[in-house]
Each structure stands twice: as structure tokens, then as C-alpha cells.
Amino acid sequence: MTDSVAGLDPCVHCGFCLEACPTYVVTGDEADSPRGRIVLMQAAARGDLPITDEKLAYHLDRCLGCRACESACPSGVEYGPALEHTREALAKAHGVPWVARLVLAVMAEPRLRRPALRASRLLRPIARRLAGRSRLGFSFGMLAASKMTLDGKTEGRKDGRTEGIGEELPPYRRTALPPGTAVVFRGCIMDDLFSHVHDATERTLVVNGVNLLSVPQQGCCGALHAHAGLLDDARALARQNVMAFRQHADATVVVNAAGCGATLKDYGTLLQGDPIEEAAIAFAARVRDVTEVLAERGPRPGAAVPMKVAVDPPCHLQHAQRVTDQPLKMLEAIPALQVCSPANAAHCCGGAGVYSVIEPGLAQQVLANKLESLAETGADAVATANPGCVMQIGAGILASRKTLPVVHPVEFLDLSYRRAGYYGGGSDP
Ligand code: SF4
Ligand code: SF4
């Protein structure tokens, strides 16, 4: 395990990262801080601490993997890769909780995932009524939060088709920018619970002159598996995607889920030493968050959306991908939209993949701090570019019986474009 924690060697134990760490802020325990966890991981790598040590597993299980410590660290510590490799060793020694294994197995297999998630979509109206603070109530809240709407204007078409795609847009609606070619990465949860965000992504890209192609053989990115220490499962999924996307080797791979984007951009490292390593590196180089693509292209201004939105940046966008300004630049294209940032925007919401399932107590405490910061902004809505964050923050809001919608930032641009009549149907439907 020694090589895998080499990225921790620059740590000088200065403690600059402590206040950036959401779990340390909640517990005040050094072993729940980045510095404490680094000491534990290094001790395990040296063999001073057996991998079966309960304290090692306990404190690393409580890490969100949010990588806020990396952004705060002046010494360039690479915490994320070391955590994943240590978790792989822990998963082999201690196993992975059966609930997490079940969720991850379903996500990896489309024949199980599609019917399960599509059936759960039917439960959304009931889930909203059953949302609450108990473990079950929070799960219902997460499901209900997977589709919240901005004043009822962002619902997709009832026939499930994506407006503007495959239809000839009138010339005046085409952007003057040179066209690009892209494929939207559909993922697992995004594809089945957030297809409305995919629709919004595709519509806004088309208005900004992007030609869209499709790759039907693509699948789950493997992020949740990698975070749980199941690196072999993550590698298998990565291989499948790298091979599938060779179909359109020059197209940009557009991602609208920060967790997926961070993992896809890291496929070269994940598949290091693999026979398809070179293809993985080439694939990773063409992955972009949707906000990167739209910010780069302008984007084209839309109609007014007079609301105040609090933009909460997902950890895997700001800390792992270092994409920070692009979501704000994209939203600048919307007249009358007031954008604000919550205090401690760099802190995780507690979603963190399957973390809220495995560590519900600490996840709730971390979420409480986030909800307080968001409430202080006085915003009419929250925008965050990751499905896990939408569901975690949304469930927290529903549990407190508030009506603040939580959506993906691209849904705001989509609403603005719809109001501008760019989709061929005039203003609001
Ligand atoms: S990880 Fe970085 S910021 Fe944290 S204690 Fe080590 S050197 Fe300091
Ligand atoms: S990844 Fe997040 S939770 Fe884990 S040590 Fe770093 S800042 Fe703390």
C-alpha cells in the first residue's frame, strides 16, 4: 500500500486544512480531520497499524471524500487517491456494508437499475408527502428531491422526448458560434432519475451551436464503487465506457454530474497499467462539465428569470475538478437572475455518494450546517451541479417542510431559453 499513499508525503502537519474539513468542524476530533486521517493512512501503509484496526476503519469510513482538504492544503497533498486506495485495502479486510453493496450492484447493471429507478420515479408524489427526518423519511425526501421544479416551468415533455433535439431549429435561433460535437454522458442515477437535467443539458447545448451525438453502450462511471473501495468494479465500468466512447473519438464528453465528471477525468489514473491505459487517457482528456462547455461558448443570453439563486458548488466540481467560475459565468447569460454564494460554500453537504446511507448520523450534522448557510442567503432556489447534492440538500429542505426548490444550474438556463422562445414553442408552455 506504500506507493498508493505517496501523495500524502508532502504533508507537514500544519493544520491549515482542519477548518476546511466538514467532519472535523462537526466532531472536533483530530482523528476525524485530514491531518489525523493522513497519519492513520501512513501508519497503515508502513505496517505500524494493521489494516484490520477498528479505529482506522472507523475514522476513514467517516471521511466524506469531499477533498476540501486538498483545496486548502498549501503543500499539494493528494488526499483523494490515497483515500481510495486505503479504502480498497479496508474493503478487502472488513468488507463493504451489504446495503452499499446492493446499491452499487444495482447501479452497475442497467437491467436491474432501469426498472428499479424508473419504478421509483412513480413514487415521487407519495415520497414528497412521506419526506421527513427519520431514516426512511429522509430516503423518501431524497427521492422526491430528485425532481423539483422552478415555478412549474421546467417539467419535461410528457412524451419523454427532448425538445429541440432532432428537430430543425429556425435559423434565427441558431448561435453564431462555430459548432462543436459532443456526447452527453448519461450515467446511472442521472439517466433514470434526472433525465429532465439531461434534457435541459441537451437543449441548451443545441441552442449554443453544439451538435449532439449518442453513445448507447455507455454505463455507470464507477465513482460510487471507487469511493467505497471497490476499485476493481470501478475499473470494469471504466473499461466499458472507454471502449464505448471510441465510437465518437473526437467528440467532447459532456457531463452534468460533478461526481461522474471527476471520475471520468481520472480514468487515465484508474486504468494505469491496463492494456487500454492510453485510450483511457485520451478519453479523460475530452471530458468537460456542461458548465465548462457553456461558459466557454458564451453562452447565448436568454430571457429574464427574476429570482435569487444560491449556487452551492459540489465538492467534486470545485475540489476534485477545480471548476469554480464556469457555473457562475453560465448563469450570467440569464437577465435578472441574482446569484449568491452561501457561507462555507467549500463545505460538503453530507451527500457524498452512499455516505448518507452508511453514516447517516454524521451526514445529518454536516447537512445541518449547509442548510443553515443556505437559509441565510434568503434565496428563492438552490442550484447545485450534482445529483447526490440535489437529493441530499433537497431532502433536508423537505424534512423541514420548506418549499425551496433545489435544481441543477443548467435548469435555470433552460428556463431562460424556454422563456426566450428558443425551443420553438414561444414563451412559457
Ligand atoms: S494536509 Fe496539507 S494543510 Fe493539512 S496538515 Fe497536511 S500539509 Fe497541512
Ligand atoms: S476528504 Fe473531506 S471529510 Fe475527508 S478529510 Fe478531507 S476535508 Fe475532511
pLDDT in tens, 299-328: 999 999 999 999 999 999 998 899 999 999
Q: How far apart are CA 208 and CA 133, in angstroms?
A: 42
* Mean pLDDT to the nearest integer, 199-216: 93
- From the CA of 25, which ligand is nearest? 2
3-class secondary structure, 181 = strand
| 153 has a pLDDT exceeding 70 | no
Tell me how far the alpha carbon of residue 410 lies from the centroid of ligand 2, in angstroms.
28
* Mean pLDDT to the nearest integer, 319-341: 94
What ligand 1 atom has the least distance to the C-alpha of 79?
1
Q: How far apart are CA 346 and CA 314, in angstroms?
A: 8
Residue 34 CB less than 6 A away from ligand 2: yes
Residue 222 CB less than 6 A away from ligand 1: no
Q: How far apart are CA 385 and CA 149, in angstroms?
A: 15
Question: Tell me, what's the pLDDT at 178?
Answer: 55
* Mean pLDDT to the nearest integer, 389-403: 90
Ligand 2 atom 8: residue of nearest CA = 21
Tell me how far the alpha carbon of residue 12 lies from the centroid of ligand 1, in angstroms.
6
Residue 21 CB less than 6 A away from ligand 2: yes
Residue 69 CB less than 6 A away from ligand 1: yes
Q: pLDDT tens for residues 239-259?
A: 999 999 998 988 999 999 999
- From the CA of 320, which ligand is nearest? 2
C-alpha closest to that of 351 among 185, 142, 192:
142
Q: How far apart are CA 271 and CA 281, in angstroms?
A: 9
Tell me how far the alpha carbon of residue 17 lies from the centroid of ligand 2, in angstroms.
9
Tell me how far the alpha carbon of residue 35 lies from the centroid of ligand 2, in angstroms.
9
| 335 has a pLDDT exceeding 60 | yes
Domain boundaries, the chain: 3-94, 135-152+302-420, 171-294
Q: Across the chain, what does the average pLDDT equal?
A: 87
pTM for the model: 0.85
Residue 347 CB less than 6 A away from ligand 2: no
Chain Cα centroid distance, residue 254: 13
Tell me how far the alpha carbon of residue 170 lies from the centroid of ligand 2, in angstroms.
49
Q: How far apart are CA 88 and CA 109, in angstroms?
A: 21
Residue 78 burial by Cβ neighbours in a 10 Å radius (0-12, 13-18, 19+): middle
Q: How far apart are CA 124 and CA 128, in angstroms?
A: 6
Ligand 2 atom 7: residue of nearest CA = 21
* Mean pLDDT to the nearest integer, 90-107: 86
Residue 34 CB less than 6 A away from ligand 1: yes
- Grid coordinates representing 397 are 429542505
Q: What angle do CA 151, 363, 319 make, to 5 degrees?
A: 80
- From the CA of 69, which ligand is nearest? 2
Tell me the one-letter amino acid at 213: L
Ligand 1 atom 4: residue of nearest CA = 17
Question: Best substitution site from 11, 59, 67, 367 to test ligand 2's pocket, by max atoms within 8 Å of Cβ?
Answer: 67
Any idea which architecture 171-294 has in CATH?
Answer: 3-Layer(aba) Sandwich (3.40)
Question: Tell me, what's the pLDDT at 4?
Answer: 60
| 3-94: CATH topology | Fumarate Reductase Iron-sulfur Protein; Chain B, domain 2 (1.10.1060)
Question: Best substitution site from 23, 29, 355 to test ligand 2's pocket, by max atoms within 8 Å of Cβ?
Answer: 23
Same fold flag, 3-94 and 171-294: no
135-152+302-420: in CATH 3.40.50: yes
Question: Tell me, what's the pLDDT at 237?
Answer: 96
